[in-house]
Structures are given as C-alpha cells and as structure tokens.
Homo-oligomer: A and B are copies of this chain.
Amino acid sequence: MTWTLVQLWNGGVTTRMPVAERRAQLVEAALSIAAAEGVRAVTVRRVAERAGVALGVVHYCFADKDELLGALATRIVDDLTGAAADAALEPGDGPDLRAALEVAVLGAWALIEKTAGEQLLTYEITTHALRTPGLRGVAERQYAASQAAAERLLGLAAEASGASWQRPLADLAAEALAFVDGVTLRWLADGDGPAARARLSSFAGYLATQAAVPDRPPRRRRKAAP
C-alpha cells in the first residue's frame, strides 16, 4: 500500500476523528472530484484516497454510495443557494426596471460563468438523482432552492425600481429559472458566452414587460451591511 500525503503528514498514522467531522471531510473530497471530473468519477475508493483515509471509513460514515451522493447534492444546493443569496444582495438600482433586471440576470450569469464545472455538476446530479431510486427528492430540493433564490432576485429587482409584477412572482421566477437553465446548458456545450449573455439580456426585456411601473418615485434600497 502507498501512503497518502495526509497520512505521511500525520507520521504514517491515520488520525481518529468524530464521525460528523469525517463526513464533512469526505463530502468535501467528493465535491472536489465531482466538480473536476464529474459524478462518474466519484467512487468510494477515490473519495477515500482524496481524503487520505482507508476505503472502509467511507462506508462507516455513509451507509452506501447513494447516501454519500445525497450528502454531496445537499452540499451543492447549499453552495449555490448561498452564492445566489450573495448575488441578490446587490441588485441593480435606479428607476429603470429593464435595466435593473438586466443587472440582476447578468449578475447571476457572471456567477454561473465563473463556475462552469459546478454548473455542469448540478445537471449531472439532477439526471443522476432522477435515475436513482434512492435519490428521490434530491432534484426536487434542488429546484425548490433555485426557485426561492430566483423569486428573491426578481422581487428585489422590482423593488429597486419601484415596479410591481403583474403576474404571480412564482410563475415569473419559474420561467426565468427555466430560461437560465436552458441557456446555461447550451453554453456548457458550445462555450459561446456572448451569445448566452445576449439571450439573457433579451429575456430581461421580456420580464420587464410583465411588470407595471407606477408614477410614484421608486423606493431606493438600503445599502448592504458591511
């Protein structure tokens, strides 16, 4: 057997660790592998190797591989939701709804474009979950989180320009989400960033037609806390 770097660092002796901490470490290892090489590359063996622990440790922490992948999916959802929340903190300001929406949508896109591997990974997790009986519910949770983030973003954009949506926010958020999803997937396939941005910009224009801007002056948002 060859020693991993972590084990060598610990003097050749594997450190014992409470199971909760170990699980987090293993999920982290799984994430780094999956983002770089896809879910297919996430094997129990490679996760153990990456984390610097013996093979069986993974099976001690997770009942089976599916449970590990479920934990990985949760981790990703939290990740993206958190990032989206950060993006929602800085929506476009000013009286022009169309401009505010463009800033919001393209801001979200900037985040997506920086994390191509993770984005591709979310699609992989979705399809994998839909094919795996033990992972029922993962895809639903993914969309529930994204939907909430989209609603928050659209709500803030409208608020910033004093506009009000003429249709249920949930419907508009769902449509925006679908569009961004489709644009992202195609971008992953053809790598055409400018085309993707143009499509998103066009969609922002459509969204702007779904709100009414009253004559009273827009309410300006408070600046985000430091």
Give chain A's interface residues, CB within 8 Å of chain B: 37-38, 40, 96-98, 120, 123-124, 126-128, 130-131, 139-140, 142-143, 171, 174-175, 177-183, 185-186, 188-190, 195, 198-199, 202-203, 206, 208-209, 212-213, 221-222, 225
- The 9 A-B pairs of least Cβ separation, nearest first, read A178-B182, A181-B182, A182-B182, A38-B131, A139-B189, A178-B183, A124-B127, A206-B206, A123-B127
Q: Which of chain B's residues have a CB closer than 8 A to the CB of A142?
A: 189
Task: Assess the B199–A178 pair: CB atoms within 8 A.
Answer: yes
- Cα-based distance from A49 to B185 in the complex (angstroms): 34
Q: How far is the CB of A102 from chain B (nearest CB, A)?
A: 13
Task: Assess the A199–B181 pair: CB atoms within 8 A.
Answer: no
**Provided the pairs A123-B127, A127-B120, A131-B120 are in contact, do residues A174 and B189 lie with their beta carbons within 8 angstroms?**
no
A189: which of B40, B140, B175 is its contact (CB, 8 Å)?
A: B140
**Provided the pairs A38-B131, A127-B120 are in contact, do residues A178 and B174 lie with their beta carbons within 8 angstroms?**
no
- Cα-based distance from A96 to B181 in the complex (angstroms): 30
- Cα-based distance from A174 to B200 in the complex (angstroms): 11
Copies per assembly: 2
Task: Assess the A186–B174 pair: CB atoms within 8 A.
Answer: yes
Q: Which of chain B's residues have a CB closer than 8 A to the CB of A222?
A: 209, 212
Q: Which of chain B's residues have a CB closer than 8 A to the CB of A209?
A: 209, 221-222
A-B contact pairs, 13 of them (CB 8 A): A40-B131, A120-B130, A124-B131, A130-B189, A174-B186, A174-B199, A175-B179, A175-B199, A175-B202, A175-B203, A177-B182, A182-B182, A208-B225
- Cα-based distance from A180 to B186 in the complex (angstroms): 12
- Cα-based distance from A95 to B15 in the complex (angstroms): 75
Q: How far is the CB of A118 from chain B (nearest CB, A)?
A: 13
Q: How far is the CB of A176 from chain B (nearest CB, A)?
A: 9
**Provided the pairs A38-B131, A124-B131 are in contact, do residues A186 and B182 lie with their beta carbons within 8 angstroms?**
no
Residue of B whose beta carbon sits closest to that of A224:
B209
Residue of B whose beta carbon sits closest to that of A183:
B178
Task: Assess the A98–B178 pair: CB atoms within 8 A.
Answer: no
Residue of B whose beta carbon sits closest to that of A144:
B190
Task: Assess the B186–A143 pair: CB atoms within 8 A.
Answer: yes
